[in-house]
Each structure stands twice: as C-alpha cells, then as structure tokens.
A and B are shown apart, each in its own frame.
Chain A
Amino acid sequence: MHIIDRRLNPKSKSLGNRQRFIRRAKEEIRNAVNKALRKRRISEIDASEKIRVRSKSLSEPSFGLGRDSGSRDFVLPGNHEYMPGDTIAKPPTGGGKGGKDGATDGDGEDDFVFTLTRDEFLDIFFDDLKLPNLVKAKLKDVRSPKPVRAGYSADGPPSKLNRVQTVRNSFARRIALRRPKTETILAAEAELAAAEAEIAPDTAKIALLREKVTRLKRLRTTIAFIDPFDLKYNRFERVPKPTTQAVMFCLMDTSASMSESLKDLAKRFFMLLYVFLTRHYQNVQIVFIRHTSVASEVDENTFFHSTETGGTIISSAFEEMLKVVKARYPISDWNIYAAQASDGDNASIDMSRCIELLDEEIIPLCQYFAYIEVGASAGRSIVWDAYEDLVDHHQHFAMRGVTSVDEIYPVFRDLFSTSERT
C-alpha cells in the first residue's frame, strides 16, 4: 500500500483542455460577451466576465433513443396511491419529462455558466481588431530618425567631443614630436641654477644649459598640449527608426442635445476604444476632448463620468485637437487617430467651418478618422449629411451610425477589424 501526496502536483492539468474549449466556443462566447456588454456599467467593461454559454451549441451528439415514438416500460419508486390499471395523465411536453425515465442518468444539457479571466475575455473581445494604417513611421514616413553612434569625426560641436580619443591622439603626437615634459624643463632649470650657483662658474656650461632651457621652453610652447588636429568628436548618424507611437483623440459632444442615454452610448464606444488601445498598444496615448460650444481637454475620469451641458460647436473640438497636436504630437513622430462621437447636431453656422477644418487639416493629418453618430436619428442629421461628402475623397475617413447599445460592439468591430481593410 502506498499513500501518495499529490496535492503539490502541477495544477491546472486541464488548462490545455480549457484553451481548446474556449477556442471551440469562441463564437458563442463572443455573442455572450456582446450580450453581457450591454448590461455592464461602463466602469465594469474590462472586468472579468461570467459567460453563459448554451452547451447545446457545443453539444457532443450521439445516437440515442428518442422519446416521441414507440412504447416503453419503466419502474419508479415511491408509489403510494396507484393500483394496477390506473392511468396517469402525462405532464405537458417539455417540463418534467426527464424525470420519468429513472434509468437514464440525468445528464442535463442546460445553459452553463463559467467565468472567463480578464485576459481571456479581452482576447476574445478584441480578437483580430487593429488600428488601421499604423504604418506611417514604418513605411511611409522616415522623418522621425533616431541618432545612432557611427564612429568619430574630426569636427563637431564641443558637446560631442570625445575626450578619450582626443587625449589619446594628443598623447601620441606629443610623444612623436618629443614635446618636453614639465619635469625635464624643471630638471634643466635646476641644473642651470646649480651651475650658476657654483663658486667658480663655468660660463661655457652655463651658456649651454641656458640654451637648452630656452630650447625646451620654446618647444613646449610650439608643440601644443592639445592641437586642433587631435580633436575627435562622436559622430552620430541619423538612422530612420520605425516607431509605432500613436495618439488617439477622442472627441465627444456633451451638449444638451445629447441625452443621458446618448452620452452613455458614446461613452460605451469610447470605453471600448480605450480598453482596446490600452490592451493592444503600449505606445498609444489617448487624448480626451469633450466639447459643448467650447472644447477642453480632460482626463479620462472626467471624460467618462462627468456631466456637463451647453450648446454645440463641433469645430471648437477640432481646434482644440489641432492645438494639442501642435503642442505635443508632431505629425512627423506620431500616428494620429481620432474618433468622434456626436448626435449629429451642430450649430448650422459652424458646419462650413467644421468641414473646412476636417477636409483640410484634421483628416490629412490623421491616419484614420472614425465618426460615430449616436441616437435614433443617426444617419439623417446635418453633420451626417455634411460628412458624407468627405467619405468619397478621404480613404481614412469612416462613419457609422449607432442607434442602440447592441450595435456598439458590431460597429466597433466594423471600424477596426483587420480583415476588411487591406
């Protein structure tokens, strides 16, 4: 007999099975996630999720006997009233029938619930989504070079002076040209002084020594300690370095015409965008801009959770965005993205300014500009009508309407799916 302690054996023996299961159930899980998303509060979106999956869609069929044909006998326990020949009405089809046949082991195929970890959840959620056109720095634009060390050069700014190389050169030159050392001069001077101090000075010797000291001193001044010839500078070459740093501008209309439910729609969209970006791109910065008749850059907390109302002037947001780009995100270095959410309402005098800004400044500097219009009238607003013309001559511009929470995720996928764009 052996008693073995297996408790310390590696855990999660079934992890491989779980991964296989999740891969298999991906479609169902995605639907379930989508459904769950509708019920979630905004702040909960990237928490882990309990998923209810119909196990029927993952069923393992086998040949089994049906219940709707033929005849069968069975024995049940617990009779307390029936006599032979009695009849019992069958329960209405569906409920209760399973209990009838005592022999089958009750392997119910109901819905069952299991919990996805946060990572599993987000993986499935953002499966094959991607920021479009994130290629600027890689392929198209080499104007964001990074200096790379490339040996030494004979000239350059003092700040790039390479002291080691310089001193090494000067040392070699000094040895080659026999520049007298300080000690040699001092020794010669001491010898001269000693000779002069003798009681019977040997003038010939003194003259010789004096001449030697003079020669040494002259040599020392003519052969510089550091000659311009010695100077070496660090040389840098500016090598174009692919970078994928990106910034996403989230522009949201918070004017009075946006009701709470519309704001909720827009916020949900941005929340998805936010979770997606923070999960998939380390270098993506996000700038939140909300606007009424004036626009301001806010932090994410204010953006998602504060309430503020007023009139609507969309161009104010664009101007704010341009200001931020100019100040912090040079176009040469950054992939710039923007997503705008609005109910499609704008002061009509502002429309022409909006289009002008978009057409000439915003869209050209963006890698991708997505506009979603929320609300029941999505697709029939003045903004929508005006933007529609832009779609034709800007490939990087996309617009979608969202009327209910259900559509957010599909629209989001639509905007960022990899397969659609090539």
Chain B
Amino acid sequence: MARAKAAKQSAKPLFDGAEWNFDSLKNIYDAVEEIGAGELGLNVYPNQIEVITSEQMLDAYASTGMPLMYRHWSFGKHFAREASQYRRGARSLAYELVINSNPCISYVMEENSALMQTLVIAHAAFGHNHFFKNNSLFVEWTNADTIIDYLAFAKDYVTKCEERYGVEAVESIVDAAHALMRQGISRHPKRLRNLTPVKAAEKQERRRLHEEENFNDLWRTVPKAPIDESRMDPDELEGQQALGIPEENLLYFIEKYAPRLSAWQREIIRIVRILAQYFYPQRQTKMMNEGCATFVHYEILHRMHQKGQLNEGAMLEFLHVHSSVLTQPAYDDRRFSGLNPYAVGYAMMRDIKRMCEEPTQEDRDWFPDIAGNGDALGTLKSAWADFRDESFVLQYLSPKVMRDFRFFSLHDEASERIVEVKAIHDERGYKRIRAGLAAQYDVTALDPDIKVTDADLSGARRLTLTHNARNGVMLDRNECDRTLRYVAQLWGYRVKLVEVDANSGKTLREQEALPMP
C-alpha cells in the first residue's frame, strides 16, 4: 500500500461532491475498469449499466430481481410489501442490483451520490460480475448468454397461455409450481441445453403443432400411457432413461410424467423449473458472492483513493457505507437477524489476504498451502472459482475469524427445553465450529430431502413422495399440508407423503392428499 501511495498521488479527483451525470459516470466506470480489469485482473462479462428510479428498483425487487418476468400475483404481493416497507422507512433499497447475464446488467439508482455510483460499479459490475463469470457453479449450471432471452420467451409464453386458457387457469399452475420451486432443482444436472429462446419457442410450437396435426378424438377414449408426452422428444428421451426413480426433482418428474397435464401446463412447469435451477447457484454462493464483491469494491476504492481519484470526503462517505454494510450484530442484539453474508464473506477474504501476505504461526499450522505464499489475489481467485459457501467455509475459515466473530456452536433438541453450548472459539472448538458453520451454509441441508419414490402410472396412479428426515427434523406441518395439495393438483391423482427418519429408517408420519375436484 505504501508503495502504491508513493507511486502516484497526482491524479485529479474524478468528482467533487455528490452530483454526477452520464459523462462523469462514464469516467468513473473507466477509472474503475482500469483498476478492476487492469490491476486486479478480474475477468468479467461486458458490462451494461442501467440507471433506474427507486420505483423501478422496487419493480425489479418484486420480480425476483430480473428485468423481465412473467406475471403472477405473488410478485404483486412482494411489490406491495417492499413498497410499504420502503415508504415507511423500515427498509432502504439496495443501491444496486446485478443480473447474472451476458452482458452483465447492473442497475444503479438515480438517487445514488457520485461516490455510491463508484462503489456500485466496483461492487456489481466488477465484483459480482467476476464471480458470475468464473465461479464453477454459475458456469456449469446457469446460462448467462441466454437467460434474458429465455425470460422474454417465458413472459411471452405465459401471456399467451393467459390469453388462450384464462388467467386463473394459468395462475393455478404457476401457484402450484412455485410451491415446489425448491424441489424443482436437479442437484446434479446435465448442462442446461444451449437452447436459444427462439429455438425454445420454435420447439415448443413444433411440439404443439405435432399434437394438433395428430389429434384424433378417438385417442382420448383410449387409456394412454402418460409417458407418451416425452416420447415425442427424442433428445429428452436420453436423459429420461438415466432418470428413473428415485427422483429428487419433483417439478421435472411432474412435468414429464403427470398423467393429466396438457402440453402448455407442462411448459409452464418447465419455465418455473428452469428459473429455479437458474437461481440455485445464487443461493449456494450468497456469502461468497457478496464477500467477493465487497472485497473487490474495497480494493478498487482504496486504490482509487491512493491515486488521488477520490478525495477525502468521498473516502469518508465510502468508509461509512462500507462499514454499515459489514455490521454483524451479536446473537443477543436486537438487530440480530442471522449471519450477515457480507460480513462473513468479506472477513474471510480479508483474512485470506492477510494469511497470504502476513501469516502468523497459527496460520502456517492451519493453512500451510497458502500461508505466506504472497499471492493473495491469485489465492482468492481460485477460491472464487472453485468453491461454494459450504466448502469455502470448510476450507478457509481460520481461527482468527472465528475469534473475531466470537462464534459458538449450539445444539438444540426440539424435545428439550434448553439448548446446549457445544463449542466456543477455542482450540478444542475451532473444528466443530467450522464444520457447524459450513453445514449451516449447506443449502441441501436447509431444504428438506424429498424424493419421488414411487409412481404408479398404470393402476391407481398414486404418487409417493418420501421425505428423508435428517436428525429427525420433520416437515412443517401446516405448510406441508397445503404444499401437498398443490402436488396433488399437478399430479391429478392421490399423492402420498411418507416421512422417514434418516437414521433409523422408521416411518415418522404419513399423509395423503387428493386433487380438488
């Protein structure tokens, strides 16, 4: 740092005060890019910065952050809630919103000050963007090139269905599919096929035409094997054989095998399923993603300050924002609402940098591979590329960070009236805390493990789901009842849910649901 400081402090500040315009925004971007892409060597998708109003930001919030989305009442509900909280002042809006797409779209709000725009560009257009482009989960599971076009297709398709079949009919399918969104993910997916949306639309149209051409009312009276639907699609057939039961992706299974759905209903389920899959990596890497973006903006803004591109006032504003983003209240604080992904991610990444550059003996003991290797950025980049939250914690959480956060691990038996402290931040506790925290970031452990274990396609057509209750944690009763009804509605026949204890294999609970007539 001292080196850089000595090198140059000659540059003129990019801006003075809070005002900005499109020219200064461009200058800011160029300066940030020079450091981000140049000095830090970040590898990013081309950027597209979009200036929006707070109203539009609320809109974007309501449609899960995407610029395009099909219409559904739940988005209206989220909008109403966000808007009311915002108007009451209970919640401030995000300064920025970034979409994993190519080009990478970052929304910045018009109300932001010049410094905030700098921060946002560094944070989103370089930090998140780098993460999206390089993290293996995103690379493998999402398709940044086509997502926007796919959304356009989805929106268009849902609108057409609403016109053709009525808003309510579409709504009931989307409701049911949304309820199963978290069970609509293949954890080990085949790469999403590189369908361009035009092709997707064409293919869908072909499917429909084929059906119309071959329509013969007589066939309706003949009992048909429900699998016929998918047989028509030879390149899907291949995946099908590998599939079989048990199937963890409920939406996929229903889309392919549900006996009574018509083609457009399957297509809508498919849209919901593809979006669920698209968002899945974001859930798995929330902490790392935010940590990465925060680390990047911190580096970039400091370097800009050293170059003299930011004046002292801007720097003070930056530090204020930066530190309030990173606040982590203690568990007994009134403001506590879980771990702050920004705080944990950023702390761990700063700590990796520290270990690479100024390791202590403890670091050398714990992390012989990276301690003192001198290449903090390289180490971080490989971490950003190859890990998700869970494995990142397991690999890189150091005793120092645990001490700083004063982490402690607790054990809770639902039947007991006390919780027990199992470990604190001491020699004996580090490993347990680290494993515990990693498990806490494991999305697969947070979602119930539900699989399709039986589907009687020829007889009573009953679908059986099995919940593998880890540690005896059963499904939330109330939610479960209503969700199961949605499953029954999609399946069209009786659906049974069995909850089985993962350890003993004992059946804990069974329940059934029938579709509403």
Q: Within A84-115, which residues are at the interface with B (CB < 8 Å)? A: 84-90, 99-106, 112-115
A357–B74 alpha-carbon span in the complex (Å): 56
Among A20, A55, A65, A101, which residue has its beta carbon within 8 angstroms of that of B73? A20
Stretch at the interface among B10-18, B200-208, B215-223, B331-339: B331-339
Stretch at the interface among B21-29, B264-272, B456-464: B21-29
Tally of chain A residues near chain B (CB < 8 A): 67
Question: Given A61-B482, A66-B475, A105-B338, do A3 and B52 touch, yes or no (CB 8 Å)?
Answer: no
A76–B72 alpha-carbon span in the complex (Å): 37
Q: B339 and A87: CB pair below 8 A?
A: no
Q: B424 and A84: CB pair below 8 A?
A: yes
Among B331, B413, B416, B479, which residue has its beta carbon within 8 angstroms of that of A63? B479
Say yes or no for A150: interface residue by CB 8 A criterion: no
Q: Within A370-390, which residues are at the interface with B (CB < 8 Å)? A: none
Among A22, A68, A89, which residue has its beta carbon within 8 angstroms of that of B417? A89
Q: A66 and B477: CB pair below 8 A?
A: yes
Question: Given A66-B477, A112-B84, do A60 and B419 touch, yes or no (CB 8 Å)?
Answer: no
Q: Within A302-331, which residues are at the interface with B (CB < 8 Å)? A: none
Question: Given A62-B479, A66-B475, do A20 and B167 touch, yes or no (CB 8 Å)?
Answer: yes
Q: A55 and B472: CB pair below 8 A?
A: no
Say yes or no for B411: interface residue by CB 8 A criterion: yes
A21–B73 alpha-carbon span in the complex (Å): 4
A73–B422 alpha-carbon span in the complex (Å): 9
Q: B338 and A104: CB pair below 8 A?
A: yes
A82–B420 alpha-carbon span in the complex (Å): 10
Residue of A3, A7, A69 contacting most chain B CB atoms (<10 Å): A69
A100–B36 alpha-carbon span in the complex (Å): 39
Residues in A neighbouring B73, C-beta threshold 8 A? 17, 20-21, 23-25, 58
Residue of B103, B408, B413 contacting most chain A CB atoms (<10 Å): B408
Q: B422 and A84: CB pair below 8 A?
A: yes
Residues in B neighbouring A151, C-beta threshold 8 A? none
Residues in A neighbouring B333, C-beta threshold 8 A? 78
Cβ distance A297 to chain B, nearest Cβ, rounded Å: 45
Cβ distance A97 to chain B, nearest Cβ, rounded Å: 10
Residues in B neighbouring A112, C-beta threshold 8 A? 80-81, 84-85
Residue of A19, A61, A71, A75 contacting most chain B CB atoms (<10 Å): A75
Residues in B neighbouring A84, C-beta threshold 8 A? 421-424, 428-429
Say yes or no for B354: interface residue by CB 8 A criterion: no
Majority secondary structure, B binding face: mixed
Cβ distance B344 to chain A, nearest Cβ, rounded Å: 9
Give the residue name and chain of the B residue nearest to A106 (CB).
B337
Say yes or no for A420: interface residue by CB 8 A criterion: no
A71–B469 alpha-carbon span in the complex (Å): 11
A59–B180 alpha-carbon span in the complex (Å): 14
Q: A102 and B421: CB pair below 8 A?
A: no
Q: Within A1-28, which residues are at the interface with B (CB < 8 Å)? A: 1-7, 9, 11-14, 16-25
Residue of A6, A19, A86, A113 contacting most chain B CB atoms (<10 Å): A6
A137–B249 alpha-carbon span in the complex (Å): 63
Residues in A neighbouring B178, C-beta threshold 8 A? 60, 62
Q: B479 and A17: CB pair below 8 A?
A: no
Say yes or no for A158: interface residue by CB 8 A criterion: no
Say yes or no for A157: interface residue by CB 8 A criterion: no
Residues in A neighbouring B180, C-beta threshold 8 A? 62-63
Cβ distance A39 to chain B, nearest Cβ, rounded Å: 19
Q: A6 and B412: CB pair below 8 A?
A: no
Cβ distance B512 to chain A, nearest Cβ, rounded Å: 15
Cβ distance A233 to chain B, nearest Cβ, rounded Å: 56
A87–B79 alpha-carbon span in the complex (Å): 42
A11–B178 alpha-carbon span in the complex (Å): 26
A89–B295 alpha-carbon span in the complex (Å): 38
Say yes or no for A67: interface residue by CB 8 A criterion: yes
Cβ distance B19 to chain A, nearest Cβ, rounded Å: 16
Q: B409 and A75: CB pair below 8 A?
A: yes
Q: Provide the B403-437 mask, 1 if CB < 8 A to any CB of A, else 0.
A: 00111111111101111111111001100010011
Cβ distance B450 to chain A, nearest Cβ, rounded Å: 6
Q: B338 and A4: CB pair below 8 A?
A: no
Residues in A neighbouring B467, C-beta threshold 8 A? 63
Q: A74 and B436: CB pair below 8 A?
A: yes
Give the residue name and chain of the B residue nearest to A58 (CB).
B77
Say yes or no for A72: interface residue by CB 8 A criterion: yes
A327–B435 alpha-carbon span in the complex (Å): 90
Q: A21 and B80: CB pair below 8 A?
A: yes
Say yes or no for A41: interface residue by CB 8 A criterion: no
Say yes or no for B395: interface residue by CB 8 A criterion: no
A83–B410 alpha-carbon span in the complex (Å): 11
Q: A80 and B72: CB pair below 8 A?
A: no
Q: Provide the B467-506 mask, 1 if CB < 8 A to any CB of A, else 0.
A: 1011111111111101100100000000000000000000
Say yes or no for B240: interface residue by CB 8 A criterion: no
Q: A61 and B428: CB pair below 8 A?
A: no
Q: A101 and B338: CB pair below 8 A?
A: yes
Say yes or no for B322: interface residue by CB 8 A criterion: no
Question: Given A7-B53, A63-B448, do A77 and B331 touch, yes or no (CB 8 Å)?
Answer: yes
A102–B330 alpha-carbon span in the complex (Å): 11
Say yes or no for B136: interface residue by CB 8 A criterion: no
Q: B29 and A1: CB pair below 8 A?
A: yes
Cβ distance B380 to chain A, nearest Cβ, rounded Å: 23
Say yes or no for B83: interface residue by CB 8 A criterion: yes
Q: Provide the B96-115 mask, 1 if CB < 8 A to any CB of A, else 0.
A: 00000001000100100000
Among A17, A76, A85, which residue has its beta carbon within 8 angstroms of that of B420? A85
Say yes or no for B293: interface residue by CB 8 A criterion: no
List the 8 closest A-B pairs by CB distance, nearest first. Answer: A78-B330, A21-B76, A70-B472, A17-B76, A70-B473, A79-B408, A20-B73, A76-B331
A-B contact list, 14 entries, CB within 8 Å:
A2-B48, A3-B50, A4-B49, A6-B50, A6-B107, A7-B56, A11-B55, A17-B79, A71-B411, A75-B407, A79-B407, A88-B421, A90-B418, A112-B85
B residues lining the A interface (CB < 8 Å)? 22, 25-26, 29, 33, 46-53, 55-56, 58-59, 62-63, 71-77, 79-81, 83-85, 103, 107, 110, 167, 171, 175, 178-183, 328-333, 336-339, 405-414, 416-425, 428-429, 433, 436-437, 439-441, 446-448, 450, 467, 469-480, 482-483, 486, 508
